[in-house]
């Protein structure tokens, strides 16, 4: 007899109950990407398959290294944002800020990571903020190609703490700018936006054209997309002429009220094993998105020029 289990997460126990069913002899379980489903959702597919492998030594046919990417595709397609602290695929699942955490994780990842980020197609991130310690900040600066003196490091650390204490989250691109300012080790940004035009409407396919200055030369490109932001990012990718950069996370939040509200756009960009967070604020959501994206790509370029990639 074949037994299967179909659990909903009304009490937050869908994964636990599904695992109990497997222990009891079930050979099939129903799971959904990101735990989507009726009411509180169904058992999270990604949590189930990782738990089966690491806790029960049960292999499935699911390609675990694709879990992060699949989660992002489903999120973008459904328009349902994955909570940042969600297990396995949340933006903060493998992020560390606290000085104690980062110091330990850099010595031995097993101290705070029960799951290897690479197993599920993710990367470890050291986050800069009010709880940042010297070990984490040193690693972040080194990855960006900076080797500050003791005095310069203390100045960068002080700026980071001041911003963190004021309640601000510090993106990688902001840390990069602080480090350039303090050390004087500046690399000219290879990508500068000169202009862009977006066309959209209820019966018009969103279309964007961008004009970039790329390493001193002017580049013009255009693309269509599912919306004005999507069209702009696709046009930018064509103009940048580098398909190795991938948009992992895109979040937008209105920080003032009214039709002229200022919006804060935050993105996580990935290039190989490296992840860079970037953000920008503007009344124009498209302009904020383009600015955040370009700043992140320019950081990758700066890292390459400093020989850190």
- Let me know if residue 75 belongs to a domain: no
What is the token pair recorded at 208? Answer: 């964007």
Rounded to a whole number of angstroms, the CA Rg of the chain reads 22
Question: Does 103 share its domain with 170?
Answer: yes
**Once rounded to an integer, what is the mean pLDDT over residues 196-220?**
90
Number of structural domains the chain divides into:
3
- Does some domain include residue 44? yes
Quick one: pLDDT at residue 249?
82
In a domain, 110, yes or no: yes
Q: Which of 183, 207, 232 is the last residue of a domain?
A: 183
Domain shared by 195 and 287, yes or no: yes
pLDDT, tens digit, for every residue of 47-71? Answer: 999 999 999 999 999 999 999 989 9
Higher pLDDT, 163 or 259: 163
Residue ending a domain, among 156, 183, 210, is: 183
Q: How far apart are CA 123 and CA 274, in angstroms?
A: 7
* Interatomic CA distance for residues 245 and 223, integer angstroms: 17
Torsion, CA 179, CA 185, CA 188, CA 191, rounded to 10: -30
- Which DSSP category does 226 fall into? S
Is there a domain that residue 89 lies in? no
In a domain, 78, yes or no: no
Q: Do 47 and 121 fall within a single domain?
A: no
- Mean of the pLDDT values across residues 200-212? 91
Q: Are residues 245 and 176 in the same domain?
A: no
- 87 domain-assigned: no
Over residues 120-148, mean pLDDT = 85
* Residues 196 and 288 reside in one and the same domain: yes
Q: Is the pLDDT of residue 308 over 70?
A: no
Picking from 26, 54, 69, the residue at the C-terminal end of a domain is: 69
Name the more confident of 67 and 245.
Answer: 67
- 287: containing domain: 191-305
Confidence of residue 132 (pLDDT cuts 50, 70, 90): confident
Measured between alpha carbons, how far is 209 from 223 in angstroms, rounded to an integer?
Answer: 7
Taking 70 as the threshold, does the pLDDT of residue 99 lie above it?
Answer: no
Q: How far is Cα 159 from Cα 182, in angstroms, rounded to an integer?
A: 10
Predicted model pTM: 0.75
Cβ atoms of 10 and 39 within 8 Å: the answer is yes
Domain assignment present for residue 171? The answer is: yes
Both tokens of 67, joined, read 């879990």
pLDDT above 70 coverage of the chain, percent: 96
Residues 197 and 300 in one domain: yes
- Residue 119 contacts residue 65 (beta carbons within 8 Å): yes
User: The CATH number of the domain where 259 resides is what?
Assistant: 3.30.160.270
């Amino acid at each position: 007899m074949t037994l299967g289990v179909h659990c909903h997460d009304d009490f937050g126990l869908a994964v636990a109950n599904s695992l109990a069913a497997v222990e009891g002899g079930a050979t099939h379980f129903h799971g959904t990407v990101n735990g989507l489903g009726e009411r509180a959702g169904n058992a999270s597919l990604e949590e189930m398959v990782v738990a089966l492998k690491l806790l029960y030594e049960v292999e499935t046919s699911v390609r675990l290294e694709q879990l992060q990417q699949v989660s992002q595709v489903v999120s973008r397609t459904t328009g349902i944002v994955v909570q940042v602290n969600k297990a396995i695929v949340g933006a903060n699942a493998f992020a560390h800020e606290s000085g104690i955490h980062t110091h330990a994780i850099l010595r031995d990842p097993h101290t705070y990571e029960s799951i290897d980020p690479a197993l599920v197609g993710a990367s470890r991130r050291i986050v800069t903020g009010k709880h940042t310690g010297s070990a984490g900040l040193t690693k972040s600066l080194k990855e960006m190609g900076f080797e500050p003196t003791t005095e310069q490091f203390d100045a960068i650390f002080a700026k980071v703490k001041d911003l963190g204490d004021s309640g601000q989250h510090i993106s990688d691109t902001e840390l990069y700018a602080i480090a350039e300012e303090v050390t004087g080790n500046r690399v000219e940004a290879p990508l500068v936006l000169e202009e862009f035009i977006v066309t959209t409407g209820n019966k018009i396919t969103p279309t964007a054209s961008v004009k970039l200055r790329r390493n001193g030369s002017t580049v013009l490109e255009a693309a269509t997309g599912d919306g004005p932001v999507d069209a702009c990012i696709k046009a930018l990718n064509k103009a940048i002429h580098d398909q190795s950069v991938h948009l992992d996370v895109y979040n937008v939040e209105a920080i003032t009220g009214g039709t002229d509200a200022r919006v804060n756009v935050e993105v996580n960009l990935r290039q190989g094993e490296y992840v860079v967070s970037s953000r920008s604020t503007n009344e124009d959501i498209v302009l904020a998105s383009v600015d955040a994206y370009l700043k992140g790509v320019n950081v990758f370029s700066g890292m390459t020029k400093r020989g850190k990639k």
